Chain A
Amino acid sequence: MAIRERMSGNEAMAVAMKQINPDVVAAFPITPSTEVPQYFSNFVADGVVDTEFVAVESEHSAMSACVGAQAAGGRAMTATSANGLALMWEILYIAACSRLPIVMACVNRTLSGPLNIHNDHSDSMGARDSGWVQLYSENNQEAYDNMLMANRIGEHPDVMLPVMVCQDGFITSHAIENIELVEDDKVKAFVGEYNPKDYLLNKANPISVGPLDLQAHCFEHKRQQAEAMKNAKKVILEVSEEFAKMTGRKYGLFEEYKTEDAEVAVVILNSTAGTAKYVIDQYRAEGKKIGLIKPRVFRPFPVDELTAALSKFKAVAVMDKADSFNDAGGPLFTEVTSAMFAKGVFGPKVINYIYGLGGRDVRSTDIEVVFNELLKIAETGTVESVYNYLGVRE
């Protein structure tokens, strides 16, 4: 029986970490992810986990400590947000290329500047090409569930890549909501032990990690890394299926909400997808055929599946909570549209909205603006503006 509970998104991630009981957690506090290591250090102090908690002096050191611990053969985890993630930058790439399946709780916050503690996705979107698997979460339940699946995904022999689990800072990280927890013993059995094939502290087969890698082999190693990311897609689906058998909660590469007969759809990550569901339910009661695609897996990017799902709509709005400042669309939009072009999916009219930057509250009426525009495009076949901003004073 699942455990009916209520807690914030941050506590949910910390509880998942408690149940996973990793060998090492190294973290430096930064709003709004601070509570994750804070809750976790309580578990350490209370002796309910036997993790080595490393209170480092910066995020650069936090990620470095995780690299060291994971390379030594341990299971390492961390949590961060915004500029903390930015300070980890060079080590993110090193963790990925060293094929170290570290797991990070990334509580999304806007990357300074201007200085702001609130939510958008500019932090994790900036890290999208660092070689980490990225999973996004609509609410505390999904943040918890994704954390429970993260080790299994990253540590799979065909993958061996670090995994970042993202949720929206404050909006879900600090909101108390209902949640169903999995029993400790079931989590333990599901997550299992980490037994890497090669590791630094293996005296029987000593290895080097992170040596100089020049023209002779570097490209091959990058190529293998790309293949591992490709493999991650299959592994994510397998692990998710096993998770569904345990909990009844089904996860894919993305969620399709009321898309079956939908003429138009929005593509949204994280908490605003929930607000879109609320609007969809209301519009559907009026007979409007609208739906939602909520990507869960942004890395690897599910090109085939996503373009197939989008191909049936007349109009699609891709919503970005991060700006690329490129006069060409946000990161999700450019990836979705380039995938559609590459796959020859030219049916739907696709527009982009940049929304909710710096924690600007996204109201149901904002989402209504988007659906109204999409319904107009579906009817007239005309797109007036491809690249748009939502809920900002011009």
Chain B
Amino acid sequence: MGKVVEIRWHGRGGQGAKTASLLLADAAFNTGKYIQGFPEYGPERMGAPITAYNRISDERLTIHSNIYEPDYVVVVDDTLIATVDVTAGLKEDGAIIVNTTKTPDEVKPFLKGYKGKVCTIDARTISVDTLGKYFPNTPMLGAVVKVSGVMDEKTFLNDMVESFKHKFAKKPEVVEGNIKALERSMQEVKGI
């Protein structure tokens, strides 16, 4: 059996954690992988904590359950750390990636003694700089690809150009900003 990379996303309803997990699935699919991207549906409302999942593999995936021992955890909103057990089951040879203005050392004390790698990314600043608005999705996607190494960075970036061109066919002006957001987050993610 090949290695399966399992990723769990924590966000708040309306922030696009589900969309980010689907974007990651898309990107991995485009590089030839077998993928799963699925949200855990609950009583959804704006601002409520939500969870989404990805599995990425070189072989066909058959398992259909939630992910309890992820390789990577992505936290789209750092206020969740106080209320959700974001490191539950997270493998110590994996990593957690948090969207925050803080440094990894500043975040670590809030992670219930998690001994693995802690990475941070200021997705808000990057998003506002490159897109003019707060869309944390694209920077978080760049960060998770960088930290997990789940696909080749160059292939990923080239592919995302095409993907964004397709996705934003009616708004071509935002393609460049999104690519810049990806590039910047891949450079600026801290704690690798």
A binds B: yes
Give the interface residue-count category, chain B.
Answer: 20 to 34
Q: Scan B133-157; emit 1 where CB is below 8 A from any A CB, else 0.
A: 0000000000000000000000000
Report Cα–Cα, A117/B37, bound state, in Å: 20
Report Cα–Cα, A253/B39, bound state, in Å: 32
Residues on A with C-beta less than 8 A from B77 are none
Q: A6-B26, A177-B35 are in contact. Are A275 and B63 (CB under 8 A)?
A: yes
B23-67 at interface with A (beta carbon < 8 Å): 25-26, 29, 34-39, 41, 60-66
Pairwise interchain contact A170-B41, C-beta atoms closer than 8 A: yes
CB distance from B62 to the nearest CB of A (A): 4
| In the complex, B121 has a CB within 8 A of chain A | no
| In the complex, A51 has a CB within 8 A of chain B | no
Pairwise interchain contact A176-B1, C-beta atoms closer than 8 A: no
Q: Residue of A at shortest CB range from B32?
A: A4
Most buried by B among A6, A118, A171, A274: A6
A246-299 at interface with B (beta carbon < 8 Å): 271-272, 274-275, 277-278, 281
Residues on A with C-beta less than 8 A from B38 are 170-171, 174-176
Pairwise interchain contact A174-B39, C-beta atoms closer than 8 A: yes
| In the complex, B96 has a CB within 8 A of chain A | no
Report Cα–Cα, A168/B60, bound state, in Å: 19
| In the complex, B168 has a CB within 8 A of chain A | no
| In the complex, A372 has a CB within 8 A of chain B | no
Give the interface residue-count category, chain A.
Answer: 20 to 34
Q: A6-B29, A6-B35, A177-B35 are in contact. Are A172 and B64 (CB under 8 A)?
A: yes
Q: A6-B25, A176-B35 are in contact. Are A139 and B64 (CB under 8 A)?
A: yes
Residues on B with C-beta less than 8 A from A117 are 41
| In the complex, A362 has a CB within 8 A of chain B | yes
Q: Residue of B at shortest CB range from A367?
A: B65
Pairwise interchain contact B29-A171, C-beta atoms closer than 8 A: no
CB distance from A178 to the nearest CB of B (A): 5
* Residue in B1, B41, B61 whose beta carbon sits within 8 Å of that of A177 in the complex: B61
CB distance from B167 to the nearest CB of A (A): 14
Residues on B with C-beta less than 8 A from A168 are 64
Report Cα–Cα, A272/B63, bound state, in Å: 8
Pairwise interchain contact A272-B35, C-beta atoms closer than 8 A: no
Q: Residue of A at shortest CB range from B30?
A: A6
Residues on B with C-beta less than 8 A from A364 are 63, 65
| In the complex, A234 has a CB within 8 A of chain B | no
Residues on A with C-beta less than 8 A from B41 are 117-118, 170, 174
| In the complex, B22 has a CB within 8 A of chain A | yes
CB distance from A165 to the nearest CB of B (A): 18
| In the complex, A304 has a CB within 8 A of chain B | no
CB distance from B124 to the nearest CB of A (A): 27
B98-129 at interface with A (beta carbon < 8 Å): none
Report Cα–Cα, A99/B86, bound state, in Å: 54
* Residue in B60, B63, B64, B65 whose beta carbon sits within 8 Å of that of A178 in the complex: B60
CB distance from A356 to the nearest CB of B (A): 10
Q: A175-B37, A175-B38 are in contact. Are A278 and B62 (CB under 8 A)?
A: yes
Q: A118-B41, A176-B22 are in contact. Are A278 and B35 (CB under 8 A)?
A: no
Pairwise interchain contact B65-A363, C-beta atoms closer than 8 A: yes
Pairwise interchain contact B25-A275, C-beta atoms closer than 8 A: no
* Residue in A6, A118, A171, A176 whose beta carbon sits within 8 Å of that of B64 in the complex: A171
Pairwise interchain contact A361-B35, C-beta atoms closer than 8 A: no
Pairwise interchain contact A178-B35, C-beta atoms closer than 8 A: yes
Known: A178-B29, A281-B1. 16 other contacts (CB 8 A): A6-B29, A170-B41, A175-B38, A177-B34, A177-B35, A177-B61, A178-B35, A274-B62, A274-B63, A274-B64, A275-B62, A277-B62, A278-B62, A361-B65, A362-B64, A364-B63
Q: Measuring CB to CB, which residues of chain B are less than 8 angstroms from any residue of chain A?
A: 1, 22, 25-26, 29, 34-39, 41, 60-66, 68
Q: Measuring CB to CB, which residues of chain A are less than 8 angstroms from any residue of chain B?
A: 6, 117-118, 138-139, 168, 170-172, 174-178, 271-272, 274-275, 277-278, 281, 361-364
Can you report 24 residue pairs joining A to B where beta carbons are below 8 Å apart?
Answer: A6-B35, A117-B41, A170-B38, A170-B41, A171-B38, A171-B64, A174-B38, A174-B41, A175-B36, A176-B25, A176-B36, A177-B35, A177-B61, A178-B34, A271-B64, A274-B62, A275-B63, A275-B64, A275-B65, A277-B62, A278-B62, A361-B66, A363-B65, A364-B65
